[in-house]
Structure 1
C-alpha cells in the first residue's frame, strides 16, 4: 500500500485568505482617496504658522498670497539657534586659519559630531605665564571675533596649557592660568560685539594634551586656545 505523501508546508488558515483580501481592498481604497484629494492651503498655512510660533519665530506669510500659490520666504529673526550650514562654518574657519598662517600663528580645525573646534597656539598671543594678551595680538583676536560673529552661533572658549608647572601669586596652578586666558579672550569677544548669552569659557589646564609633552614641539602644541563652535541641531 502506497504511503500518503507528506505535505511540505502546512496550508494557511482559511481566515488568512479573507484577511489578505480585506487588506488589499483597504489599501486600494486609501490610494484612491489620496489620488482624489486636494491639499487645503489654508490648513497648511495654519500648520506652518503654528510651527513657526512654537519655535519662537514671527510668521510673515500672508494667507491670501499663499493661497495664490506664491513662494514667500519665511523669516524667523528670533528663532534660536539660527540655521547655518556646516559648509559656511568651515569656509569661515578656513578664512581665519589663512589669516593666522600669514601672521605665523599655528592653528588647526578638529571636527566632532555636534561641534567644530578651532585650535590656536597661544605663544604669539600671550606672554609666558600671563593671561593678558600681547598688545599686537588684540587686533588679531578681534578680527577672529568679527569673522565668527557672522555665524551667530554659541561658542565655548577653552584654555589649555602644557605640563610645565606654574606657581605664582596670581596663578597657583595651570588651572587658573588656562581659565584666565580663556576668560581674557571671552572679554575681547564681548568688546567686539559678540552676544554674551552665546559665550562661555572654561579652563582645562594641562590635562587634555593633543601632543606628547616630552618635546618642546609637543608642549608648544598643547599651549592653545580652543574656540568650540556648537552646531545647530
Structure 2
C-alpha cells in the first residue's frame, strides 16, 4: 500500500513540467499575437497621422514675448530683430494725387475692415469709425490679451493677420494706442497701467511688423486708464475701456499723423 502511494506521488512529480510548459506556450502564443497586431499598420491612418504631425511641427511660431518695462529689462536677440524688421512693402495702393484720392483710398480700407470683421462687429468686439482723416479700428482687450498680460493669446493672431493683409498694400501711417480700466496694477513687469497699456500697443505693432507691415509707418502709444470711453464703476464699462485702438491716417507720414 505504501509503495502504491509512493508510485502515484512519483508520477505526479514527473508530470509537473507539463504545467510550466503549457504556461510558456500560452505566453509565447500571446506574444506572437501582439507582435502581429503591431506589425499590421493601417496605411491610411498612418498617412493621416504623419501629415498631421508634419503640419504641427512645420507651423509658424505664434507667440510674441511681452515687453517688460519694470525691474527686468528685456533685450531683443538677433532672431527677434530679424522678425521685427521685415522688408519694406513696395506696393503703395493710394498714390492718387491730392487729398481727395487719399480720402477715397482711406474709405476703401474702412470698407474692407467692415467686410472682414462683420461677425466680430456684430458681437461688439470690434468697432470701425471713420472721418475724412482717420479710421479708428477699436478692438476689445478680451479679443487680444489675458487679464494683466501683454502677451497676445492665440485667438489674437488671425485677427491681427487679417488687419495686416488689408494694410500691407497701403502706405498710410498707423498709430496703435493701448488703454486700460482704472483697476490698479503693480507687478515687476508693469508697475502701473501706463506700462501695461504701452506694452499691449507695442505687442500689436510687433505682430503687424511680423506680417510685413512696414515698421516705419507705425507708432505705439499707451494711455493707461486716463482716456476712458465708459464709466469704470461697472464691469461692462471697465470692459469697454480695456481696448487697443488702431488709428489709420489718411497721410503717409507717421510723425505728421502723431502731431
TM-score bracket for the superposition, by shorter chain length: 0.5 to 0.7
1:116–1:228 contact (8 Å) kept in structure 2: yes
Unaligned 5+ residue runs, structure 2?
1-92, 253-259
Q: Name the structure 2 match of 1:91.
A: 111
TM-score, structure 1 normalization:
0.61
The one of 176, 185, 203 aligned to 2:222: 203
| Distance in 1 of aligned mates of 2:146 and 2:247 | 23
1:196 Cα deviation from its structure 2 partner: 1.1
| Distance in 1 of aligned mates of 2:137 and 2:95 | 27
Residues 21-170 of structure 1 correspond to what in structure 2 (within 5 A)?
83=102, 85=104, 86-101=106-121, 106-170=125-189
Choose between structure 1 and 2: higher helix proportion. Answer: 2
| Distance in 1 of aligned mates of 2:94 and 2:124 | 38
Against the structure 1 CA distance between its residues 77 and 230, is the aligned structure 2 distance closer, same or farther, given a 3 Å change threshold? closer
| Distance in 2 of aligned mates of 1:180 and 1:142 | 19
Larger Rg belongs to? 2
1:188 Cα deviation from its structure 2 partner: 0.5
| Distance in 2 of aligned mates of 1:94 and 1:220 | 22
Could you list the per-position Cα deviations for residues 8-60 of structure 1 after superposition, in whole angstroms to 9, with x for gaps in the alignment? xxxxxxxxxxxxxxxxxxxxxxxxxxxxxxxxxxxxxxxxxxxxxxxxxxxxx
2:134–2:247 contact (8 Å) kept in structure 1: yes
The one of 199, 218, 223 aligned to 2:237: 218
Alignment root-mean-square deviation, CA: 2.8
- Determine which structure has greater relative contact order: mean sequence separation of CA pairs < 8 Å that are 6+ residues apart, divided by chain length: 2
| Distance in 2 of aligned mates of 1:142 and 1:105 | 20
| Distance in 2 of aligned mates of 1:198 and 1:78 | 18
Q: Secondary structure at the match of 1:186?
A: helix
| Distance in 1 of aligned mates of 2:180 and 2:173 | 23
2:174–2:248 contact (8 Å) kept in structure 1: yes
